[in-house]
Structure 1
Amino acid sequence: MRISTSGRRWVLGTAVCGVLIAGCSSGGGDDGDAKPRAKPAAEAKPLAAGALRPLLLTEADLGSGYVQVQDELGSEKFDDISVQGCPALEKLGQDGEGDMFAAKVEASFTYDRDATLGEEVHSDRPSVLSSKLRELFGAYTSCPTYTLTSGTTPIKVKVSKSVNPELGDEQFAYTSTMELPSGAQVLKTMAVRKGNVAVMLVGAPALVDRHIKTAVGKLPAGN
């Protein structure tokens, strides 16, 4: 089946789930002398895109050899992408178009011309970020293999979970290997949530591992 624009971005690893959000128990005795219960703290609101842009990595953050590039084609380059052989991903594609989170900014870099590193910074209420990231990464790690069709070319994809770094409030990671006509390409996708902001890096595993700590370090303190 053909999948949504957001889904296509995640499948290709170029562009950021069902969590149980704990409710507050209201149990207790009928002690007339008990003090009124304090109201639960309100969740932090999403940040606007303008507040997220300074949080993106820059060439200065990454070091020599990195060049920031513009995504001139936008979502059009994903129009002929579809997925077969993974029910969770197919369902994800059926959930509709549009961005998953309240605000998003992104940046893309090349490294020594033949390697890429993509970054997205998202913001939403912490419970929404947590829920949707768990849903998304859960879907992409639910099938060890599936087929990605680009135009008329079928591409076999193998997926494995990756070790999560001990950063932020929540961490998610997986590695995908795509069997392309030119040879196998390995991409790592890693996301870290810190309060009402989450950062995701996608690219060559060594580049993602090298820069995730710097990317998380640019995020504001968790709210």
Structure 2
Amino acid sequence: MLATAVCGVLITGCGSGNGGGNHDAKANAKPAAEPKPLTAGALRPLLLSQADLGTGYVQVPEKSDSGKFDDVSVQGCSALDKLDQNGDGIAFAAKAETSFTYGTDATLSEELHSDRPSVLSSKLRALFHAYISCPKYTMTAGTTPITVKVAKSATPKLGDEQFAYTSTMELPSGAQVLKTMAVRRGNVAVMLVGAPALVDRHMTTAFDKLPSAS
């Protein structure tokens, strides 16, 4: 699963008229148009590759999203229930994703999302707020209940906005810790999910592949 819209408007007034004329010019000025979302096709080349990550990473073949979360439900977190009440959670205009394994049990998944900056910002805020608002909840995968503990995490000083939280899942095989971090630059956001050390290690590389904000 995966933001202050930064909008700068420069209005330059030149002339020898009185203050009223300058006020009218400002009042009639139109706000700068937001960059449009990129397409999924434009996002895919920006995803991390094995060459970006180095040795030891194996890319996982892409699978369809259809039915991927049909047997997963959440109990004990009204914020997540509200987030997903329309059946598909928070959806952005375009998305591209990939994932890797590292060693025998570590994973790293990446999602790129694109939308208008203000929309991307507000939806990322809603998404991360929903998760960190519930320090503990239960997730059921199939018939197996899993206790999940969530804590807000520190973020690097990258891009326009940054979000992160760490989830500790009490699995039958033992506790598993995953970190989710997102960084937005203009109309594109990169989200990494996986072993905390891998997310911290590769976020800057993933961010550097994003196009410069318009």
Shared fold per TM-score greater than 0.5: yes
Q: Distance in 2 between matches of 1:68 and 1:144?
A: 32
SS in 1 for 2:157: coil
Q: Distance in 2 between matches of 1:81 and 1:121?
A: 23
Q: How many residues align?
A: 202
1:188 aligned to 2:176?
Answer: no
Q: Which residue is 2:56 aligned to?
A: 65
Change (3 A) 1:74 1:113: farther
User: Is the contact between residue 67 and residue 109 of structure 1 (CA under 8 Å) also seen in structure 2?
Assistant: yes
Counterparts of 1:165-176 in structure 2 under 5 Å?
Answer: 165-176=156-167
User: Is the contact between residue 106 and residue 118 of structure 1 (CA under 8 Å) also seen in structure 2?
Assistant: yes
Q: Distance in 2 between matches of 1:147 and 1:190?
A: 21
Q: Distance in 1 between matches of 2:141 and 2:82?
A: 19
Q: Which residue is 1:36 aligned to?
A: 25
User: Is the contact between residue 21 and residue 131 of structure 1 (CA under 8 Å) also seen in structure 2?
Assistant: no
Q: Distance in 1 between matches of 2:133 and 2:86?
A: 17
Structure 1 length-normalised TM: 0.85
Gaps of 5+ in 2: 10-17
SS in 2 for 1:53: helix
Structure 2 length-normalised TM: 0.88
> % of aligned pairs identical?
71
Q: Distance in 2 between matches of 1:39 and 1:73?
A: 42
User: Is the contact between residue 115 and residue 203 of structure 1 (CA under 8 Å) also seen in structure 2?
Assistant: yes
Across the aligned residues of Structure 1 and Structure 2, the Cα RMSD in angstroms comes to 2.1
Q: Greater CA radius of gyration, 1 or 2?
A: 2
Which runs of 4 or more aligned residues in structure 1 lie more than 2 Å from their structure 2 counterparts after TM superposition? 19-22, 30-35, 71-77, 95-99
Change (3 A) 1:112 1:195: same
Change (3 A) 1:61 1:103: same
Q: Which residue is 1:125 aligned to?
A: 116
Gaps of 5+ in 1: 1-9, 11-15, 25-29
- What code does the residue aligned with 2:25 have? P
Q: Distance in 2 between matches of 1:72 and 1:151?
A: 19
SS in 1 for 2:96: strand
Could you give the per-residue CA deviations for residues 71-130 of structure 1, whole angstroms, max 9, x where no partner exists? 436342321100000110111110332761100000010111321100000110000000
User: Is the contact between residue 6 and residue 186 of structure 2 (CA under 8 Å) also seen in structure 1?
Assistant: no
